[in-house]
Amino acid sequence: MTSGFRAIPPVNRILEEDAIVQLIEAHSRDAVLDLIRQNLEEIRAAVSEGADPPDLPSLVFEIEHQASKRWRAWPERVINATGVILHTNLGRAPLSDDSIQAMHRAASGYSDLEMDLETGKRGSRQSHMSQLMSQVTGAEAAMVVNNNASAIMLALATFAVGKEVVVSRGEAVEIGGGFRIPDVLRQSGATLVEVGTTNRTYARDFDAAITENTGAILSVHASNFKVIGFTNAPTLEELVEVGHRRGVPVLHDLGSGCLLDTVPYGLAPEPMPQQSVSAGVELGFFSGDKLLGGPQAGIIIGKKEAVARVSSHPLARAVRIDKMSMAALAATVLHYIRDEATSKIPIWRMISATEEELRRKSESWASFAQNGVSVASRSAIGGGSLPGETLPTWVTRIPSLQPGEAEKMAQRLRDNNPPIVARIEDDAVILDPRTVLPGDESDLREALNNIAQPNAAS
């Protein structure tokens, strides 16, 4: 064992290696020293258990590998060829060029984020966004926070702390990422009162559950699952009628917040903020980075007095949106105001892409891959939006020539620069052009030419 410890390279010898010198120049001596010492501690522990120490080249290679992983630019650009439009693991909605430029402006210098340029006095970061969002939804007022979970939490803390909130039993759900409606109610200081059954609830159930301690009626859109068959749920209009008659505000969690009608694109109807406003809800909540096609944000729309109450709650500052996201969201909403969403917002370009356009791309890509073929398939919306809904597409299918080869090819695609994320079906790699951005196609074709050819892995 003593000889094993003696074989471990000392720190000063490791520092002399050219690769380590380059790491120090690229980063810092202290950071690289810490990484070296961490590796040496692990090696000593392994040697004490009877393992052989690595030789110097192997140790240097491992330090280089760890440095490249720890200190790389992150998040890394990835090409999404999965066909899942709102891919949660890949960052959900990509932003429009205008939104990216707006973020750059906000980040690269000073801005009038909280100044009224006409008066020269302090303004509100919410006022401009409120005007834009009110214009596209018809709401009296709006405000924006950092995500939709925060929006709901803030509203419940404002209207229902220490009170009861009436929810349909079929809507006391987990939306995703551990975000459960009952837990949110508890954290906000409200008490959950479930009514109806899992599959059938009526307006009269809500009416019967209201007491003098009821703070709100909450309606939650089941954005990531479907209940079909023998079902019933009251309409928003019916809930609002009950709420108005009993003096209880109705709050509506829409989930995605889709500003365009999805039916013309062959999809099921998705709740729209405009419909919530027309129904007369006190407040509606939805995400910015799903079917809206913008940055992560939680958007609150509704009655002017209700929005003002929420805005003045102490929790509002804790969950407020940052300036870059606010800038990107404003630019995204402008696309809707200018009636250019399907041409400028990436996810709506993807949703509205024609089968013929997708077929041509998939056939072109197939020519770059060994045994690649163009076949009809389906693309998913994803991201907790339009559960179970898919769109017809054409994909490039690269079958395995031997068992397990598809997994290896998918890994090689992920190891590409930039990484390409595909899906695997029936031991074949599937590349869906619907979710590949126009600027990424040349990189994908080059990768296919290098990776998906005979002897590419050798």
188-205 average pLDDT score: 83
Could you tell me which of 359, 384, 385 has the C-alpha nearest to residue 373? Answer: 359
Q: Residue 180 and residue 436: Cα distance in Å, rounded? A: 33
Mean of all residue pLDDT scores within the chain? 90
Could you tell me which of 114, 113, 131, 112 has the C-alpha nearest to residue 123? Answer: 114
Q: Show the beta-strand stretches assigned E in 246-351.
A: 250-255, 283-287, 298-302
Q: What is the DSSP letter of 457?
A: T
Per-residue confidence (pLDDT) for residue 178, from 0 to 100: 54
- CA 137, 128, 283, 145 torsion-angle sign: positive
Q: Residue 290 and residue 286: Cα distance in Å, rounded? A: 9
The predicted model scores a pTM of: 0.88
Q: What is the pLDDT of residues 355-370, one digit of tens each?
A: 999 999 999 999 988 8
Per-residue confidence (pLDDT) for residue 191, from 0 to 100: 82
Per-residue confidence (pLDDT) for residue 1, from 0 to 100: 55
Per-residue confidence (pLDDT) for residue 211, from 0 to 100: 93
CATH class of 79-88+347-451: alpha beta
Per-residue confidence (pLDDT) for residue 228, from 0 to 100: 57
Whether residue 98 has pLDDT greater than 80: yes
Task: Return the higher-pLDDT residue of 452 and 102.
Answer: 102
Task: Say if residues 37 and 8 touch (Cβ distance below 8 Å).
Answer: no
Q: What residue spans define the domains of the chain? A: 2-69, 79-88+347-451, 95-344
Cα angle for residues 46, 50, 53 (degrees, 5° grid): 55
Whether residue 456 has pLDDT greater than 80: no
Per-residue confidence (pLDDT) for residue 457, from 0 to 100: 47
- The helix/strand/coil state of 284 is strand
Q: Residue 61 and residue 45: Cα distance in Å, rounded? A: 19
- In sequence order, which residues have a C-beta less than 8 Å from that of residue 262 and are 6 or more positions away? 268, 269, 270, 291, 351, 386, 389
Q: Residue 127 and residue 143: Cα distance in Å, rounded? A: 8
Q: Are strands 373-382 and 298-302 parallel, antiparallel or unpaired?
A: unpaired
Per-residue confidence (pLDDT) for residue 101, from 0 to 100: 98
Report whether the peptide linkage leading into residue 418 is cis, meaning its omega lies within 30 degrees of zero: yes
When mean pLDDT is compared across 2-11, 177-186, 256-265, the lowest value belongs to 177-186
Q: What is the pLDDT of residues 215-248, one digit of tens each?
A: 999 998 875 445 555 577 889 999 999 999 999 9
Could you tell me which of 98, 4, 128 has the C-alpha nearest to residue 55? Answer: 4
Percent of the chain past pLDDT 90, that is, above it, reads 75
Q: Residue 275 and residue 287: Cα distance in Å, rounded? A: 16
Q: Residue 281 and residue 159: Cα distance in Å, rounded? A: 14
Q: Residue 30 and residue 41: Cα distance in Å, rounded? A: 16
Could you tell me which of 451, 449, 439 has the C-alpha nearest to residue 79? Answer: 439
For the chain, report the end-to-end CA distance as a whole number of angstroms: 39
What are the φ/ψ torsions at residue 351 (nearest 5 degrees)? Answer: -65, -35
Q: Which bin fits 200, alpha (ψ -120 to 50), beta or left (φ > 0)?
A: beta
| Cα 405 to chain centroid, rounded | 31
Place of tokens 């309606």: 219
If you write DSSP's letter for every residue of 29-78 in order, what string do you get? HHHHHHHHHHHHHHHHHHHHTTPPPPPHHHHHHHHHHHHHHHSS-SSPP-
Q: What is the pLDDT of residues 294-308, one digit of tens each?
A: 999 999 999 999 999
Whether residue 314 has pLDDT greater than 70: yes
Q: Which bin fits 284, alpha (ψ -120 to 50), beta or left (φ > 0)?
A: beta
If you write DSSP's letter for every residue of 237-251 in order, what string do you get? HHHHHHHHHHT--EE
Q: Residue 91 and residue 289: Cα distance in Å, rounded? A: 9
Q: By 3-state DSSP, what share of the chain in percent is helix, strand and coil, each rounded to 5?
A: 45, 20, 35
7-34 average pLDDT score: 94
What CATH number matches the domain at 95-344, 3.40.640.10, 3.40.190.10, 2.40.50.180, 3.40.50.261? Answer: 3.40.640.10
| Cα 153 to chain centroid, rounded | 19
Per-residue confidence (pLDDT) for residue 458, from 0 to 100: 42
